[in-house]
Structure 1
Amino acid sequence: MLILGLDVVGENPKRFAVVSWFNGKLERKGEFTLYRLIRFIQSKRPDIVAIDSVTELGDDLRKFLRSLPPETKLVQITGKPGEQRSLQSLAKEYGIRTADRFDPYEEAKLSALLASKGVGYEVLAFEDEVIIKVTRGRSHGKGGWSQDRYRKRVHNLVRDKVREIEDRLRKADIPFDLETEEKDYGLARGEFRVYASREELAGLVKPMHGGDVEVRIYPVERAELGFAPLKGEEAIRERRSIIVGIDPGITVGIAAIDLNGRIIALHSERNMPVGEVFRFISEIGHPVIVATDVSPAPGFVEKIARSFKAQLFVPRESLRVEEKNELLRNLGITVDDDHQRDALAAAYKAYLRLKPKLEHIDARLREVGLSKKADEVKALVIQGYNLGEAMQKVSLRERPKVEEKREEQVREVPDLEPYIRRIRELERKIEMLENENRELREIIKEQRKTIGRLERKLVDYDEEVRRKVLKEKELEAKVKRIETLERQLKEAKALIERLSKDLVQVKRMNVIEIRGSAVPLKVLRVLSWNELERIEREVGLRRGDVLFVINPASAGKSIGEELVERGIRAIITEKPLPEPVREVLREAHIPFFTSEELDVKRVDDFAVVERKTLEDAIEKLLRKWEEEDREREAKKFLKLIEEYRIERAKELERKALEEIERERRREP
């Protein structure tokens, strides 16, 4: 463990004395400005940065907290606000020698040493929530086809990255909410609200900068700083110890009971965030056990347990509804909903598991007169201390503490009473430790016998297990190989069947073509300039060729003129020709048909049509067009005669009127 102790040396600019503690070794690192200190911490990534009071950082406190690596804790050694003690009194309590209290390096050293013993309160600047934003990495630029394709590609990349992060969070069983903005069949952005700390996301989701996609991670800051004891037993001493049951989900259920099995709180709330759950429980007490009613434990419950440094209780198998209802009947209590029921059942099940041990602790404490401290002793035992250690810790805290003012006063006559009491306490502790040591030696002896027996069994089973594993791996490889070959065989059969049908059709068409009763067609996928160039390059395009077009939809007038220019005899299509092409071919008397009219036989890029059918269709269509042309010419001629007749009648009428006018003028 690496711990850095800090103390302010001077202002304008602010400078800090830094002392490091690494596995028992102290080293003076020198003076640092705030900027250099932050760079130094980011490069060394210590476990703890210890300072006697965070107020020494002044207005730079929030900036300093944001710059700390996720795994580094900022610890205020002297206690939480309102209950602070001096460094010297803490050092004396923990048996650390002090020198010049006005030396910044001495103060930094004391902070590092006390932090190594678990003294102090961690400064909590962030909620157990993190915002992850996934967006595009750069501007798309102005319009154009290339920019449109690039924009769609980036939005697809954003969508893929959002799905990747979502999949990782689900596999890690970390709860989250996701908001997305869809665009171009992809995502313009995605924003995750993850209910986990920065430490839990380390290595799971990494920031990305400078590419097409950016991933940025923002921890959610608390409105007010929080302070949590560095060691769990500090919270046990200061607050009521409780057992908490949690039922996670859209509606969160919370139940709290004390270490005597009495119900303290029942609550359920919809869309309750992790931070709110944490604060709700903190207001009730300090949980030493966090319980769930399902196995394995949900990630939400594990997170709450880690946040409080509490033991996690998971039943051997998920509790059935009948079992939960039976527990509530035994308690004689009704609940508002199923979420409160599940949470209370989990908490009470954990209590029943511990009840024999807790009753034994009560009996021992009554014998030694520590019943008033029963909850604190029970909590320490649950945390992992044996009963003797827990009783010793509690009894040591009962001794009266020397006031700080008396420490600073010079006493003329030494007071030996505290030393005598300390010696007696140490003697009692030694006696208890010796008894415990004997018990542990017996346990170790039995454990070694068990280990030896199990090791012999492992040797016996090792070879058999190894052979079984190898056999299973070989069998698994063969099964996968068989599945692959079966799939390939199925695909080959389907291909052979299709090729067989094509071969029969090709043979029939070859026979027809050899007999001269069929006309080969040159097949175009689409009617375009590129496709004409391909046909010209591969097989050539000559006058009198008949073309077969699969999809002519995109063709225009210029393509029709090109076909007329090349002297195409006729064109057959699977779909109707566009109107501009039809007009050009009709004007040039080049016949066009659909494949349904002529019964075209086609296999891939090879197609034929019966010669007689084609000739008859061409002759019939041309004859029809000739008749239409003659009719059109006749109508045109009749129209000219009619126009001439009308004009001639108008001319004769005009001349008659003029003659009448002249006659009228001659009369006297």
Structure 2
Amino acid sequence: MNTRTGALDAVVFGVDVQSGDVRGDAPSYALVVFDGRETGVSRARQDGERSDGGEEVERDVVSHRKLRRRIESEEPAIVATDNMYELAEDKDSLVHFLGELPDETKLVQVTGAERPEPLSRVASRHGVPYAKEPMKEAEAAARLAAANVGQEVSAFTNTTEVKVSRGRSTGGGGGWSEDRFTRRIHGSVKRRAREVESELEGAGLDYEKDVTEKYGGFSQAIFTVSARPQDIPVSRERAGDTRIEIERERRDGIEFRPLAKRRDHVVVGVDPGTTTAAAVVGLDGSVLDVFSSRTVDAADVTEWIVEQGRPIIVAADVTPMPETVEKLRRSFDAAGWTPQSDLPVDEKQHRTRDEGYDNDHQRDAMAAALSAYDAHEDQFERIARKVPPRVDTGEVTARVVAGEESVETVLADLGEDGDGDGGHDGADGSEDHQPRELTEEEQTIKELRKQVERLQDHAESLEDTIAEKDDELAEKEEALSQARSDERIEVRRDSEVTRLRRKTERLEYELEEERERNENLEGKLDRLKALWKLDHSNFADVSEKKQGLTSVKVVDQFTTGAIREADESIGLIEDDIVLLRDASGAGRSTAQKLADVDPKLVLRTGGLSDVADTILFEHGIPVAPAEMVTVQEVDELAVAREEEVEAAIADWEERAEERRRDRNAEMVDRLISEHRAGERGQSD
């Protein structure tokens, strides 16, 4: 009986389980593709037909996987079913199914919302052919959805998260240094994020931005956009250094929305002013929609209300009713409602506590509509009890409330007999009707009804008490939540202080290490400078220009470690003059290490070991007692007279020549002895 918009001019999939069960064996589905467009796209069909109205109908039996593939490839406007859980085994699976639907495709349960009706009843009410077999049920679902019958199943809000992030790891690669590679990636993310932001602004979309800054740019940027994915001029992509992910914000649960704008009878609340707000409440007390704007006029508000339904009551939250609201009421010929006194803010907050709204204006309009519904709820229920089946309760309610007619008059005018099922309530009948004496059974029923009414009154009283307790509990929970929030803030603050303190200690430790390192380098630099500023006043025969000096490099001990330390601190190179403070104890490897330097002269303090002496001699490295050369030292740096160095070298060369002669003589004697020994052996 509800007025609806015309049939959809689009493709609709009707689906019903043919065999199996989505919770167990792999199911097969009866699929009916209903194309209401006059020029339908030609498709390969197993069993297709065209109706006289220009509709394309295709019937097929498909698996669950094939059904998903066809939905993805053909992107129908609606996937219609009589039970959404025939497509998913549980709530999580249903949410996953909804998340994989194309952006323009809706899942519609044609039998209603949380408490669906039998498909046969819905089909009969809307004049759609029905038979109890899967293919016929699938076709009935498709035709009902095409006629805008049913509830859209939604698990997502109209808010979408667009995330711009790195498209690859920052571990480096391709010959780039790690820092440069990381900087390039973060710079690319930052540039792409700015491009996305520019596109969102160009489309006039509201959004919030949250970026994570990293070395060289952004590691990610998240845009929370107040729009659906299909309304956003950005798509998913992965290109080079960046990628874009798009995900709709998920609701806490599953939500149902009427497929079409229903023209049911409604209660309207209006809050006029600089920002005008309006709210629509159904005759069951549920909030259907709410909006507010600073730019609309009375005509825009009227048009919006017309799209939502047919007002029975127009309400305001203040008394007397504002003139703009009164004009709106008269335009709909609806009843008016205002409170006895202006609704207090706390009462409006309490009445709308379970509803969502964006601002105080929407809250006030919603509170007005809900309060008007509360005032007429008992009347609505009485009217509903008297209205027979197959009669539009909303139409009767509108004429009784707004037109101040009686239920009986309205029913008679609609051509219905008011003495039907409601006759036993004593609400209908004429003045000359003579009541008959009740039977014992009817008397019992009457008493039981009175008892039920008393119990219902008591239950309502208990519900009021529960509501008060719930309010008290909500206040205490809010206070507890605030206390916990304050505690979490304090904990985070303490954690941040601790982190910063540790960071400060680490930086102070690193600073101290750098200071020590600088001091060591400054000391070494001072010693190097001192080498060139030596005061040679102790050398009596040095000229005023201090010529004839050569540097001497000091090694504390004739060990491998001491040689390495001297090399690291002052450097040991070829033709150096090396002073060994303690020349004893050197072995073969140590002597070889010094020989590899190939110094010009080695001055020793103490005696060399035989093996060290031999290795240095064999490498032709002069060795002289330290007493032969006058050495002046500053730390590990020193200088000596060049003429004394040359004299020491000349002395070593004389001794070396004599040592070579002695060695040659010993070698000749040894060869002669070996030769003679060999001749004696032969003669024997």
Normalised to the residue count of structure 2, the TM-score between the two structures is: 0.41
Greater fraction of residues in helix: 1
Normalised to the residue count of structure 1, the TM-score between the two structures is: 0.41
Q: Which has the larger radius of gyration?
A: 2
